[in-house]
Amino acid sequence: MKLSQSFTKTTKTAPADEASRSAKYLLRAGYIYKEMAGVYDYLPLGMRTLEKIIQIIREEMNAIGSEELRLTALQPKDVWEATDRWSDDVMDVWFKTKLNAGGELGLAPTHEEPLTHVMKSYISSYKDLPVYAYQFQTKFRNELRAKSGIMRTREFMMKDLYSFSKNREEHDVFYEKCADSYKKIFNRLGIGNDTFRTFASGGAFSKYSDEFQTLCEVGEDIIYLDREKGIAVNEEVYNDEVLADLGLDKSKLEQCKAAEVGNIFTLGYRFSDALDLCYNDEDGKRQKVFMGSYGIGPSRVMGVIAEKLSDDKGLIWPEEIAPYKYYIVGIGEKGEEMAAKLHDMAPEDIILDDRKNARTGEKFADAELMGIPYRVVISDKTLADNKVELKNRKTDETKLLTLDEFTSKLA
């Protein structure tokens, strides 16, 4: 991508009402644009990072045998009345609207009801089970307070997977498989070392639910972490009984602030019961389907990563989700020529800062603010040795590579 041809620009200041560092940097670097509190557009750089996060999650969801679909935001009230979640008193984050043709609709804050309803058309026998289906879909939640930039918003991208199993045993196997898959995802996203499976409150069908919590100073949760075992307990269930149940030693636990980046719930018969989703077992007996739900918010994860991995100069993206891997600055006529040549070899990997009206110092500062993993400088001096200078955004380490060494790294 040539910076001279991209419409966004970096800015020195962010809106005064943005408190979180991630939001300030994402706004200043041109990744997002604030429509209003809790509602953000994704500009070209932001779209690329968001899509890369989505693609990683998609690959791992496909790898555990689940199928992608897309449900609608607009929801009729009948299925939600059947589960008693239509009322604003029960579900306080609904956006409701009216159909010109008559009737009230809601904007789905989650999708247990509609997907359970879809499955009534496709599940009738034990032979049809299990079913694992997921989507990347825009959720709407009428939060009273939006917070922390893209970490808690009113319109956001969500990956939600739902499992439909014959019984609890079948459910439990998939539940653990998905938990393992989540670990892989957070590793690939570059926050694996600081993300912990965390026991949180369960429901009628399970003592606990599982959250994936990333250590983060602006996180909304308090967790108690056993680093050695790599598991944690959410403050909401932190008591002696639970610690004993989980075999955790209070003296070994650290109290930490954390941001929830994923969660897994055992839904049991909560929705299949209310919506009558049943199957005939091998003996021809009618049984209820046992369900689970598995969420990750790609836009929220993007906010958490931006928050956690940034420094006082700007964002620092892990390579797998950076919008581009290299930020190339050519200095001098020959340097600029070679920079353009390298860019054209791999425009999907490279931001070419070919702006005429920006000084080299400004270009370097923008490379840092945008958080591109490697800054590449090509000048008459480096070219004299047939080399380019590579600087690692994260470690600040600088090294010289020959042009051949560098081009062999390009996709």
Residues that bind a second copy (CB under 8 A): 5-9, 11, 33, 35-37, 39-44, 46-47, 50, 65, 67-76, 92-93, 95-101, 105, 107, 114, 118-119, 121-123, 127-128, 131, 133, 138, 140, 142-145, 154-155, 357
Pairing of strands 221-226, 278-280: unpaired
3-state secondary structure 106-130: EECCCCHHHHHHHHCCCCCEHHHCC
- The owner of tokens 């070679």 is 338
Q: What does the alpha-carbon distance between residue 220 and residue 103 come to, in Å, rounded to a whole number?
A: 37
Nearest residue to 258 via CA among 312, 211, 207, 318: 211
Give dist(CA 379, CA 193) in Å, integer: 38
Nearest distance, CB of residue 290 and a second copy, angstroms = 16
Q: Of the candidates 47, 8, 11, which has an alpha carbon nearest to the alpha carbon of residue 365?
A: 11
Question: Considering the complex, what minimum distance in angstroms separates the CB of residue 398 from a second copy?
Answer: 31
Shortest distance in whole angstroms from residue 188 CB to a second copy: 21
C-beta of 123 vs 339, nearer to a second copy: 123
Closer of 220 and 249 to a second copy (Cβ): 220
Phi-psi region of 84 (alpha: psi -120 to 50; beta: other; left: phi over 0): left
> Any bridge partners for residue 296, and if so which?
159, 262
Our CB check for a second copy shows the closer of 33 and 235 to be 33
For residue 83, the number of C-alpha atoms closer than 13 Å in the C-beta half-sphere is 23
Min separation Cβ 66 and a second copy, Å: 10
Separation in Å, CA 304 to CA 26, 189, 190, 310, 372: 12, 11, 11, 10, 17
CA pair distance 20, 136, nearest whole angstrom: 26
List 319's β-bridge partners, or say none. Answer: none
Q: Closest distance between a second copy and the C-beta of residue 349, in Å?
A: 15
By beta-carbon proximity to a second copy, the closer residue of 111 and 197 is 111
- Closest to a second copy by CB, 127 vs 241, is 127
Q: Which is nearer to a second copy, 93 or 400 (CB)?
A: 93
Q: Do 349 and 320 contact (CB within 8 A), yes or no?
A: no
32 versus 383: smaller Cβ distance to a second copy: 32
Q: What is the dihedral of CA 275, 280, 283, 286, to 10 degrees?
A: 20
Q: Which is nearer to a second copy, 129 or 243 (CB)?
A: 129
What minimum distance in Å lies between the beta carbon of 141 and a second copy? Answer: 10
The minimum distance between CB 4 and a second copy, in angstroms, equals 9
- The contacts of residue 144 (CB under 8 Å, 6+ apart) are none
Shortest distance in whole angstroms from residue 266 CB to a second copy: 20
